[in-house]
Amino acid sequence: MTARERLFLYDTTLRDGQQTAGVDFSAEEKARIARALDALGVDYVEGGWPGANPTDSDFFDAPPSLSRARLTAFGMTRRVGRSAANDDVLGAVINAGAPAVCLVGKTHDYHVTAALGVSLDENRQAIADSLRHLVALGREALFDAEHFFDGYKANPDYALSCVEAAIEAGARWVVLCDTNGGALPHEVFEITQEVTRRFPGERIGIHCHDDAGLAAANSLAAVDAGARQIQGTLNGLGERCGNANLVTLIPTLLLKAPYRDRFETGVTPEALTTLTSVSRMVDDILNRVPDRHAPYVGAAAFTHKAGLHASAILKDPSTYEHIPPELVGNERVVPMSNQAGQSNLIRRLSEMGIKVEKGDPRLARILDLVKRREDEGYAYDGAQASFELLARRELGLLPRFFEVERYRVTVERRRNALQREITVSEAVVVVRIDGERVMSVSESHDPVSDADQGPVNALSRALAKDLGRYQSYIDDMHLVDFKVRITGAGTDAVTRVLIDSADGQGRRWSTVGVSANIVDASFQALHDALVWKLVRDGAPAAA
């Protein structure tokens, strides 16, 4: 086997990822992500633009210690009319002290004249001076060639002359940027091939945006054409539609031919198994619900809903999986839904620790019930905990813990003592535990923050307030997501509520409720969430 070539991974989550609308990392969060990227095995971690904002400056003032990745500061080439040594914006970037510095500069002639308002020569000179200055200071110098592909299409000689200026000034890498994200794979291939032919020596990189949904494909096309550094971000964060998603590219490079045979990256197979948790950590920091359909790492990436698929998966998972999920730290799910057959069901039951033979009449009863209830508006593929309770009930394996006798929610709009208008929801839940009646009351209005948390929150708190001897089982549980959807139309319309809950053991589970009334639908989902937790934690049945 011939030796594999080194392919370098450059992460810009903390810089271009921070340019995503709605994303703002704190310096501590940046440090946490940088350490995770280092452990994953990326080669460069671009930490931000020192001097551009207080967070990025704070991050570089106390940078995380990285064991192998190179911390990189980002900035722009010197402005025309100042020397590189006297440009305060460039100075702040250099003074951050990072061992590598990446400077963006214009390579599209129109942008030079229209956006910068300088001559083509002045811009090219600014690129050369800025990079030479970095090299003289002993820094690893990188040049992000902004709008390179559009620039090459408009004026190839000028775009190439900017690349040449950067290389002659000593840049270790020149990174071709599809800044507007509109290039197609064949264009990226042809143009990158021309650049790598003219500037050999494994110093060309690629930086793609996803405006045409092609950032990952374009990055691979550039690698096919000779690029040896890929820039991208975790979960594809980035300006507008985002950057090339490293969470998609890394497993593709490690697991798929021809890349796995031709290239070596800093990511080991062991580190690859942490990819799903790294991706979810970023969502967690951003308080975002992870994309269920994300390639490789999404919760649905290895979920086999259709009966025909599940039947084959039980015989050999490769029938409907492009890779084994455990290679990227994900897992296989065979959910229940109206698309399911006995194979899905047997598989789900065995995951719950319940063994039932194919052909058992109870299987047909459960399948029938699932299909009928999905027709009424339930959706069990996204609410596996509710499905588990339904199956256990049908199989006679669901203990009775407590009975809900009644519940009530009232919503009142009134003035508080300061004459400010507030909305207050009050929930009352009455349960029977071991023959004893317990009444709990809860309000939605938080007197400390003066915020109204809504009727479902009041109901949830009242239900979980006093469950007698079951209380200790549910104390570490909390509601993490609440989704409402109206299904059907006109007089057939019903409300479906999906609730995600989590507990102190790091488990997360989903339950569903359906009713014409949103409070009833919510209560069903909340009730299922509590009961599932009691079942899973082995709480004893009522006396």
Ligand X SMILES: CC(=O)SCCNC(=O)CCNC(=O)[C@H](O)C(C)(C)COP(=O)(O)OP(=O)(O)OC[C@H]1O[C@@H](n2cnc3c(N)ncnc32)[C@H](O)[C@@H]1OP(=O)(O)O
The phi, psi pair for 19, rounded to 5°, reads -80, 0
CB 222 within 8 A of CB 193: no
For residues 139 and 209, which CB has a smaller minimum distance to ligand CC(=O)C(=O)O in the complex? 209
Task: Candidates 81, 86, 97, 115: give the one binding ligand X (CB under 6 A).
Answer: 115
Q: Mark residues 39-78: x for contact with ligand X by CB under 6 A, - for none.
A: ----------x--xx----------------------xx-
Binding site for ligand CC(=O)C(=O)O (CB under 6 A): 16, 104, 144, 146, 177, 179, 207, 209
CB 422 within 8 A of CB 416: yes
Residue 120 interacting with ligand X (CB under 6 A): no
For residues 15 and 139, which CB has a smaller minimum distance to ligand CC(=O)C(=O)O in the complex? 15
What number of other Cβ atoms are within 10 A of residue 88's Cβ?
Answer: 9
The one segment of 103-111, 222-230, 318-326, 412-420 that binds ligand X by CB under 6 A: 103-111
For residues 130 and 179, which CB has a smaller minimum distance to ligand CC(=O)C(=O)O in the complex? 179
For residues 17 and 251, which CB has a smaller minimum distance to ligand CC(=O)C(=O)O in the complex? 17
For residues 102 and 498, which CB has a smaller minimum distance to ligand X in the complex? 102
Strand partners, 264: 6
Q: Which does 387 bind (CB under 5 to 8 A by kind): ligand X, ligand CC(=O)C(=O)O, none?
A: none
Interatomic CA distance for residues 322 and 305, integer angstroms: 16
Q: Which long-range contacts (CB under 8 A, 24 or more apart) does 89-94 make?
A: 89/51, 90/130, 90/133, 91/51, 92/50, 92/51, 92/52, 92/57, 93/49, 93/50, 93/51, 94/133, 94/134, 94/137, 94/139
Interatomic CA distance for residues 390 and 380, integer angstroms: 10
Interatomic CA distance for residues 197 and 542, integer angstroms: 76
For residues 120 and 441, which CB has a smaller minimum distance to ligand X in the complex? 120
Total binding residues toward ligand X, as defined by CB under 6 A = 16
Q: Which does 266 bind (CB under 5 to 8 A by kind): ligand X, ligand CC(=O)C(=O)O, none?
A: none
User: How near is the Cβ of 19 to ligand CC(=O)C(=O)O at its closest, in Å?
Assistant: 8
User: How near is the Cβ of 21 to ligand X at its closest, in Å?
Assistant: 13
Q: Which long-range contacts (CB under 8 A, 24 or more apart) does 387-393 make?
A: 387/335, 387/336, 387/348, 388/348, 388/352, 388/532, 388/535, 389/528, 389/531, 389/532, 389/535, 390/366, 391/336, 391/345, 391/348, 391/349, 391/352, 391/354, 391/366, 392/352, 392/354, 392/535
End-to-end CA distance of the chain: 68
Interatomic CA distance for residues 53 and 49, integer angstroms: 8
Interatomic CA distance for residues 126 and 497, integer angstroms: 58
Residue 38 interacting with ligand X (CB under 6 A): no
Residue in the shown chain whose Cβ atom is closest to ligand X: 52
Q: Mark residues 222-241: x for contact with ligand X by CB under 6 A, - for none.
A: -----------------x--
Of 12, 9, 7, give the one whose Cα is nearest residue 179: 12
What number of other Cβ atoms are within 10 A of residue 475's Cβ?
Answer: 12
Residue 528 interacting with ligand X (CB under 6 A): no
Residues of span 274-293 touching ligand X by CB under 6 A: none
Residue 25 interacting with ligand X (CB under 6 A): no
User: How near is the Cβ of 159 to ligand CC(=O)C(=O)O at its closest, in Å?
Assistant: 13
Task: Candidates 32, 79, 305, 432: give the one binding ligand X (CB under 6 A).
Answer: 79
User: How near is the Cβ of 127 to ligand CC(=O)C(=O)O at its closest, in Å?
Assistant: 13
- In the block, tokens 């600014």 appear at 126
For residues 209 and 392, which CB has a smaller minimum distance to ligand CC(=O)C(=O)O in the complex? 209
Q: Which does 105 bind (CB under 5 to 8 A by kind): ligand CC(=O)C(=O)O, ligand X, none?
A: ligand X
User: How near is the Cβ of 52 to ligand X at its closest, in Å?
Assistant: 3
Q: State the DSSP H helix or E strand holding residue 431, giving kind and residue range, or none if neither.
A: strand 421-433
Residue 11 interacting with ligand X (CB under 6 A): no
Query: Judging by beta carbons within 10 Å of its beta carbon (0-12, 13-18, 19+), is residue 489 exposed, middle or buried?
Result: exposed
Residue 479 interacting with ligand X (CB under 6 A): no
Q: Tokens standing for 6?
A: 């080194």
For residues 122 and 360, which CB has a smaller minimum distance to ligand X in the complex? 122
Q: Tokens standing for 8?
A: 């370098």
Would you mind telling me the total number of residues written for the chain in this entry? 543
Q: Mark residues 142-171: x for contact with ligand X by CB under 6 A, - for none.
A: ----x-------------------------
What number of other Cβ atoms are within 10 A of residue 333's Cβ?
Answer: 18
Interatomic CA distance for residues 99 and 63, integer angstroms: 12
Q: Which does 207 bind (CB under 5 to 8 A by kind): ligand X, ligand CC(=O)C(=O)O, none?
A: ligand CC(=O)C(=O)O
Q: Under the rule (CB under 6 A), what is the footprint of ligand X?
A: 19, 49, 52-53, 76-77, 79, 89, 104-106, 115-116, 146, 179, 239
